[in-house]
Structures are given as C-alpha cells and as structure tokens.
Amino acid sequence: MGGVSNTDADSYVGLLPAASQETVLTQKYIALYMDGLEAWTEYRRNGFPNTLTVPGDTYLTYTFNTLVTGLNTIPNRITYPQNEQLINKSNWNAARNNLSDGDTMISKLFWNVN
C-alpha cells in the first residue's frame, strides 16, 4: 500500500459512504489527482464531485465552483488558439458560431450535457 498501514487503510475504507453514482465518481476524481486534465474531463462528463472539502478542515465544505478565480463556473472547454483566428479565420468563425457562447471557456461542447 505504499507506506500506508493496513489498519489505516481499513479505517479509511470503513469510513467511506455507501456506493452511489456520486460517491464512486467522486472517488474516481480523487484518484485522478495527478492527472488534472483527465480529472477535469471527468468532471465535465459527469458533473461530480458536487463539493470539495479542504484537507484537515472538519467543518467547511466549499462548492466546487467557488474554487475558480475569475469565473463563476468551471470552464467547459479551452478556447481556440489565436493562430486559428489569424491563419484559419473562416473555419474559426464557423466553429465559434456553432458554440453556445462563442469561442469562450463557458461554451459547452456538443457532448457536455451537465
């Protein structure tokens, strides 16, 4: 277990809530800690976790959306690079016109239903 005692591992597992869509997908999000892009994609795909707790904090739970500075929501996509506007302007215009909010980070991709 990589330095974690069996007793500590058993205690942790014993404290986990019963399996549900939310608890399983939140654990998957936690497991993707070192792969931020994949975790972000999973969050966009399924909408979990709903909330995050700061480590060591026993009484405060933060809504996920409040953790992003300068946005009132988690970004849905990355904007097209500026080179697309310069080199491929006609296709860039067509692509951004098909997005709900233009070429912005809040425009949802076609598969994003959350």
pLDDT band at 112 (very low <50, low <70, confident <90, very high): confident
Percent of the chain with pLDDT over 70: 77
Residue 100 neighbours by CB distance under 10 Å: 12
pLDDT recorded at residue 79? 87
Q: Quick check: pTM over 0.85?
A: no
Residue 47 three-state SS: coil
| pLDDT, tens digit, 9 for 90 and up, residues 65-101 | 554 445 566 778 888 999 988 999 999 999 999 898 8
Identify the CA nearest to 74 among candidates 27, 36, 33.
Answer: 36
- The residues pairing with 100 across neighbouring beta strands, listed in sequence order, are 102
Distance CA 49, CA 30 (A): 9
